[in-house]
């Protein structure tokens, strides 16, 4: 099967925080000459436009239409499933920007949806307010349930830690719109406009990047520069098609596939 598109995770695959991973800029520029390239991230703290600016600072050129975030997926999901709604957001400005771009109303009172993403200012009072809305019947949506983030300084709690706290308090499971949900995979396939089996998904997490690829019929390549290490592969049934040291090896995978 000939690949037509490469979908690349960001955190842990292209960069760690403010540090680019070796050869990522060169490899992505090389891939863009022959394939459609999209970026897919569960981090909702930045908007798609914010990610474009961050990538440009590294020397990677793209448009916001090449970036799909869990925040963008949440905004599209709410617009499609709920139409006019009032959303209480636990999250940062990037998530709020994506909601506003879809003409979704943000609120602090009388909210019928609670949306939770990564929020570095998360507090007991925010959790209490979310709980009040959910117990009153509000829909509970999570951008993602990633338990942690790897930064240049240390490992930090991810959105999943916040979501779990509210799930425990409310007794309600969140609807997840980010990786590995079918909603974001369908959104991705619609954006890239090629068949799933013509896509190579590249990422560093087994339970999100690789799982979404497997579930949606893509081929998958695990890089070992982020969350997943070789020892983790011994403790899971999730099996990527390829395992490589870093994104620098992706062109080799593609060249070998063409030679078959």
The candidate with the shortest Cα–Cα distance to 146, out of 203, 187, 205, 230, is: 205
Is residue 147 predicted with pLDDT exceeding 70? yes
Torsion angles phi and psi, residue 39, rounded to 5: -115, 135
Q: Is a pLDDT exceeding 60 seen at residue 123?
A: yes
Residue-wise pLDDT tens digits, 80-121:
999 889 999 999 999 999 999 999 999 999 999 999 999 999
Q: What share of the chain in percent tops pLDDT 90?
A: 87
From 94, 49, 53, 51, select the one nearest 75 (Cα to Cα). 94
Q: Would you place residue 234 in the very low, low, confident or very high pLDDT band (cuts 50, 70, 90)?
A: confident
- Measured CA to CA, the distance from residue 241 to residue 32 in angstroms comes to 22
For residue 153, the model assigns a pLDDT of: 67
CB atoms within 10 A of CB 41: 28
Give, in degrees to the nearest 5, the angle at Cα 134 between 130 and 140: 85
- Does residue 151 carry a pLDDT above 80? no
Q: Which domains does the chain possess? A: 5-42+179-259 (3.40.50.1000), 83-176 (3.40.50.1000)
What's the rounded mean pLDDT across residues 53-82? 97
Of the candidates 175, 126, 184, 169, the residue with the CA atom closest to the CA atom of residue 9:
184
Q: Half-sphere exposure of residue 47, counting CA atoms within 13 Å on the CB side?
A: 14
CA angle 50, 53, 55 (to 5 degrees): 110
140 C-beta neighbours (distance < 10 Å), count = 20
Condensed to tens digits (0 to 9), the pLDDT of residues 169-189 reads 999 999 999 999 999 999 999
Look at residue 154 in the predicted model and tell me its pLDDT: 77
Q: pTM here? A: 0.94
Residue with tokens 């349930």, as numbered in its chain = 145
């Amino acid at each position: 099967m000939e690949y037509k598109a490469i979908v690349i995770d960001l955190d842990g695959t292209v960069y760690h925080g403010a540090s680019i991973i070796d050869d990522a800029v060169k490899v992505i520029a090389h891939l863009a000459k022959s394939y459609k390239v999209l970026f897919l991230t569960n981090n909702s703290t930045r908007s798609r436009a914010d990610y474009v600016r961050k990538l440009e600072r590294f020397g990677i050129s793209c448009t916001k239409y090449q970036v799909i975030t869990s925040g963008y997926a949440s905004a599209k999901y709410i617009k499609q499933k709920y139409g006019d709604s009032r959303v209480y957001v636990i999250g940062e400005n990037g998530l709020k920007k994506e909601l506003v771009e879809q003409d979704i109303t943000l609120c602090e009172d009388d909210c019928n949806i609670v949306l939770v993403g990564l929020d570095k200012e998360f507090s007991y009072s925010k959790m209490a307010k979310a709980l009040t809305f959910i117990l009153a019947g509000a829909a509970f949506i999570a951008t993602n349930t990633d338990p942690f983030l790897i930064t240049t300084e240390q490992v930090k709690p991810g959105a999943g830690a916040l979501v779990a706290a509210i799930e425990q308090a409310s007794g309600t499971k969140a609807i997840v719109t980010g990786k590995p949900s079918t909603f974001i995979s369908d959104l991705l396939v619609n954006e890239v406009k090629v068949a799933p089996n013509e896509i190579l998904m590249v990422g560093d997490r087994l339970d999100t990047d690789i799982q979404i690829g497997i579930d949606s019929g893509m081929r998958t390549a695990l890089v070992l520069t982020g969350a997943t290490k070789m020892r983790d592969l011994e403790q899971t049934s999730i099996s990527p098609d390829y395992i490589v040291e870093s994104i620098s090896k992706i062109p080799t995978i593609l060249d070998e596939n063409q030679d078959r």
